Structure 1
């Protein structure tokens, strides 16, 4: 990174860390369900879908709270502790780690010297997340379930922890976003939302790689590829990816998995269909398109055959 770029990023971090104590810290009790936890409202401006914040120091002792937005906290420099509601868990985030939290998941940052730490937060409004980013992230079923869970279970309290290598493009994107957010222009939100999409796609790639077994079996590798590309995969493209002839692969799949190619694709699509129907307000036609069906009537027939009910009855 050129020195001028380093200086711009350093200046942005300094500016955001100075703003940090003066953000819109508004903790309100949850008005629904009779719960007493405090809910942190959106910290950015009303017209912002994406915002960045930064803490720098040797001591932070946040009150335990929940927040009404998605967030990704990056241990940009140094270590800190994250207190979560999941199993009363307190984990240490080391430099290079990323903590991803759902709306309403319990959380608090803790740090008590002596070394200084820098924590960068990327915050995304719920509505903007589902509008802008749900579709591009829908390939990985496990990740999709994580992001959709709060729609069904408000207090899901799940989180994701990733360790990102120094050379990850995520850090470069984050640096660009820091400078863009501080040096705000009229089109900054458009740029930030585009950068956020790129960052989230790299996060999805890192998450998938992190979830893969060290040495997946041939059956696992084939099924994982089908699940990730269920909207576009063909027998020919699957064979090409793994270096097989399509005819040989069509005979190999039943031996390895117990199912033919078309059955594996349908199963992968139906698992995602259930997630979309249970957790979103997307139309049947939109869900069909997301799953790779060019005609929604084909989706209806496949769903009815698989689940014994129609998508509309499920929705």
Structure 2
């Protein structure tokens, strides 16, 4: 039975959607202007890769690349242009950005689409706090392009002009969930799922029978912490546990946490930034741990890009970040769903 066609292309619905789509174009023009003004070189990484990324809970679209000899090779659409862009940093580029499509399987909803637009950028030799300043500038640029004064999403608002709140993950868990996160890690950042589960039960939270520390962390973050972030003003959720920052370097003052932050407005996560890890051996260990967990949870694993690890040894110290461009447009226009801000929404597959 054929899947029913989406009616986005009917003249009546397109007429209703068109003002938001034109606003999207104005925001994009503003973003490109900002990048040019700040000396970013816009690059265009290919979507087809040997490895889509090695994060436990990100799922890729897999395909077969057939060579001229007719032999098939496993290939993927990337979940982020990160590997390709870091190879460019290793090659000698210093300030680069990409605005293009990425693909993530098993993701569909008001805030998720299997194909969406990502803005990703890197600064060589600069601290990851520079990325925080970039983010705030882009948020202000986006609302200016729409004529709005605040970011909005489903009745929640955030003022992008106000000074953002910078909150550590440890403090956020204590404030919103009553959980001492550091008590569930040893001095090197190794995690203790039983200790986290015990604290969750003490706060009246349900704990699934089969659980890892990472899964419980995500559960608390999603249910208790994220809904309270970015309300009234933007929140920068900073210093993630090292176990949840596979691509970030550890903080110099505490090995349990890493130079990773996420940007929130109206309870919506907009961007994910890092002080980048450049140690190939440590990166390999983290990738292998992530893939072991993916195998345990989902019965699959992705290959490690050996060229990426080789390039990492040449890569200078840098900070990097990825921002969901569609989500930025959503919040700047007040749209309630991601498909409303995409010129052509991704087709539905299945029931």
Larger Rg: 1
- Greater RCO (CA < 8 Å, at least 6 residues apart): 2
- TM-score range relative to shorter protein: under 0.3
